Structure 1
């Protein structure tokens, strides 16, 4: 059996992972503690989700992001690295589709 996940960041959500099936045993969105991954990957995914929340101007959300080009690029690089680590740790029985548009 192959498990399918979607990878993208969402405002107000503390995980970048979403199952294809809303009745997933991993939660919807995915509860990172339920996945068979190491603590370092779990913590990095949670850190990235928290960091993503700072990409919004909360005083007026339609305004452009307060992130500099450098911060945006740093986020993208860390997100790509975290996705690669996640895919490696989950292994053959998992497919993680990148929908992050990074």
Structure 2
């Protein structure tokens, strides 16, 4: 059963998906290449959009410092990321295990 982790990473603008066990020679890449997954163009576009948006949550002049985002933007981002995660899990269907920081989904 493919097992992926879902999280956003500083500097990664194309995917929030990573293999549970890092394997650059694996079937999906490390980080995962969205076009290798059995998901539609709309889901890929939304995941990429969220990755790009996440980058603006980082103060690139001082990355370990506080985020420039107000709480309201964090809440909006989290709602949209949760919705994208749910859509991804539904689209992948049975036979996949996808983990989010506080959520584990097995279909």
Q: Same fold (TM over 0.5)?
A: yes
Specify the alignment match of 2:69 in structure 1. Answer: 67
1:10 aligned onto 2:9: yes
Q: Secondary structure at the match of 1:92?
A: coil
Provide the C-alpha distance between the structure 2 equivalents of 1:64 and 1:16, rounded to a whole number of angstroms. 21
| Larger RCO: 1 or 2 (CA < 8 Å, sep 6+) | 1
Output the TM-score relative to the length of structure 2: 0.88
Specify the alignment match of 2:79 in structure 1. Answer: 77
Shift of 1:100: 6.6
- Listed one character per residue, the Cα deviations across residues 58-97 of structure 1 (whole Å, up to 9, x for unaligned) are 1121221000111100000000000000000000011101
Worse overlay, 59-68 or 86-95: 59-68
Gaps of 5+ in 1: none
Runs of 4+ aligned structure 1 residues displaced above 4 Å come to none
| RMSD of aligned Cα (Å) | 1.4
Provide the C-alpha distance between the structure 2 equivalents of 1:84 and 1:39, rounded to a whole number of angstroms. 16
Shift of 1:49: 0.6
Q: Is the 8 A contact 1:6 1:17 kept in 2?
A: yes
Specify the alignment match of 1:93 in structure 2. Answer: 95
1:20 aligned onto 2:16: no
Gaps of 5+ in 2: none
